[in-house]
Structure 1
């Protein structure tokens, strides 16, 4: 059973159990949109900017190499009639190999980007979790759900704590900005970073 399905089942079970529990104790709910918070807090913006710069640099490198390969193919096409069959086939195979290597390089960059994003965002998410816990304790929340992954289909905006979390996070004492992580070249990295 997937995490999303498990959370949906737990949410449904809670909705049936809560009327009984609510009679014994006041239950207070809230929810947070993690994506919104990650993109709005100062650390998240800085991390996103660093990641974007890294990606743009890699994209420029790929674009340069792609342009060089396109020119090489044009030259090969122009000179093909003057070449022997063996030479033409050899040059064509070499060009194909370079195209494949470039595609593999792009795939490595995408995997590395996912790993970098995870490394950049993990400490921020941990701080966000701490802020949410403090808000929950301070304001007496029994449950705070993540908007997207909790199975929450609808909730009134008055229960949305995202802006409060952003304000509280940005009010925390500033620590030294984390350096961009250096991911090892041969480290296996999942294609999609998990979202909180």
Structure 2
């Protein structure tokens, strides 16, 4: 009987003191969906408009150049019958050079558009991560992770702070910072 009483008292003491040892601050985790921020934030939408406008501009320039090349090709076909062999080879060489220049222009536009997109994403990511860092300090988060790149398989909606980050990011970009 004494043994049972002793074990019970020790158990009660252990139960009452052990939780106090682990009562440090609660772990607070936040998740950010950067992809959602890119789609829904005002800066993300503006970046998409800029990229679309630049893409359309490049497409129009390429289309104009292609029409010019098509006209030159048709003209060459008509004149090929009456040109001397030397003039024909010279025109063919010039036409091939123009086609190569067109391909180079096309590649340059593609690269320029990709570089612009990468720069915009990097600038946006820096700003968003700065905001998340500030939010984490203010609201005492233990950890804030990016949903896709961090390899998160599951995260409950309660810990997703993406909408709050979008709100702050929109406020920052509206001020012109």
Q: Equivalents in 1 of 2:94, 2:161: separation in Å?
A: 57
TM-score using structure 1 length: 0.68
Distance 1:66 1:44 in 2: 32
Runs of 5+ consecutive residues of structure 1 not aligned to the other structure: 1-21, 178-196
Of structures 1 and 2, the one scoring higher in RCO (CA 8 A, sep 6+) is 2
> After alignment, is 115-124 or 92-101 more displaced?
115-124
Tell me what 2:57 maps to: 57
**Conserved? CA contact 2:43–2:173, under 8 Å:** no
Go from structure 1 to structure 2 and tell me whether the alpha carbon gap of 1:150 and 1:173 turns closer, same or farther (over 3 Å shift): closer
The alpha-carbon deviation at position 97 of structure 1 amounts to 0.9
Q: Whole-Å Cα distance in 1 between the matches of residues 88 and 100 of structure 2?
A: 18
Per-residue Cα deviation, 1:101-160 (whole angstroms, up to 9, x for no partner): 111112112222233234434443222112212322333322222122222233233332
Change (3 A) 1:88 1:171: same
**Is the Cα contact below 8 Å between 2:131 and 2:165 reproduced in 1?**
yes
Q: Does 1:46 align with 2:43?
A: no
TM-score normalised by length of structure 2: 0.74
- Computing the radius of gyration from Cα coordinates, the structure with the larger value is 2
1:88 corresponds in structure 2 to 88
Runs (4 or more) in structure 1 with deviation over 4 Å come to 22-25
The reply on whether 1:70 has 2:70 as its aligned counterpart is: yes
1:35 counterpart residue number = 35
Partner of 1:157: 157
In 1, Cα distance between equivalents of 2:72 and 2:23: 76
Residues matched between the structures, number: 156
**Aligned twin of 2:6:** none
Note the residue ranges of structure 2 that are not aligned, 5 or more in a row.
1-21
- Residues 62 and 106, structure 2, Cα contact 8 Å, conserved in 1: yes
Shift in alpha-carbon separation, 1:99–1:23, aligned structure 2, 3 A = farther
Tell me which residue corresponds to 1:129.
129
In the aligned structure 2, how far is the partner of 1:144 from the partner of 1:153? 15
How far residue 25 of structure 1 moved from its aligned partner, in angstroms, is: 5.3
